Amino acid sequence: MARTNIQWVSIYDLSVPSFDIVSEIDLQEVRNAVDQTNREASTRFDFKGTDATVEFSEKELSLSASTEDRLRAIYQLLEEKMVKRSVSLKTLEAGKIEEASHGAARQKVSLKAGISTEVGKQINKMVKELAIKNLSSSIQGDQVRVTGKQRDDLQRAIAFFKEADLAVPLQFTNFRD
């Protein structure tokens, strides 16, 4: 009796090209932008005596100044520093300007990271609208995985999403061939 070598291949062993769409913030770059903003505010003539500062915590920034006008100016300065450090302004979600004691003003600015379920569903819908055969997507926590049979299809999808204007900045990771 002749022996045949039969090899069972699991569907998980077959590599299907894929990539993940994520929305992440480089917190070190945000911290550097905050430090630069505070340093410049302490030396600029138009900020003298306004006590304009930006405080950094893990999920939000706290801006404060002696007047609402100076608060808006420090926020604009922060945006400039973020852009120079290649941090997308889409990550900032400015809260309402509040009055503090002695006519001072303060504002909380949230840092948005991760892809929400709503944005994930929007990305899934956009993948379907691309009408590329054998291209699919699925939400996996705070990221979306896009899979396809051909690498070129995935590269077209990445180019499409780079041009798309979504509420969050997108990065593309784990490109697997």
Nearest partner of 54 among 44, 65, 46, 45, judged by Cα: 65
Four-residue CA torsion sign, 44, 48, 52, 56: positive
pLDDT digits (tens, 9 = 90+) for 69-104: 999 999 999 999 999 999 999 999 999 999 888 888
Can you give the pTM of this predicted structure? 0.79
158: Cα separation from own chain's centroid? 16
From residue 83, alpha-carbon distances to 34, 87, 90, 117, 155 in Å are 12, 6, 11, 27, 26
* pLDDT score recorded for residue 106: 92
55 and 41 housed in the same domain: yes
Which residue range is the domain that position 51 belongs to? 27-111
Q: What pLDDT digit, counting tens, does each position of 117-133 carry?
A: 899 999 999 999 888 88
pLDDT at 12: 46
Within a domain: residue 1? no
Write out residues in the chain with pLDDT < 50, as ranges. Answer: 7-13
pLDDT at 47: 87
Q: Is residue 161 part of a domain?
A: yes
Q: Tell me if 128 is assigned to some domain.
A: yes
Q: Please tell me whether residues 106 and 31 are part of one structural domain.
A: yes
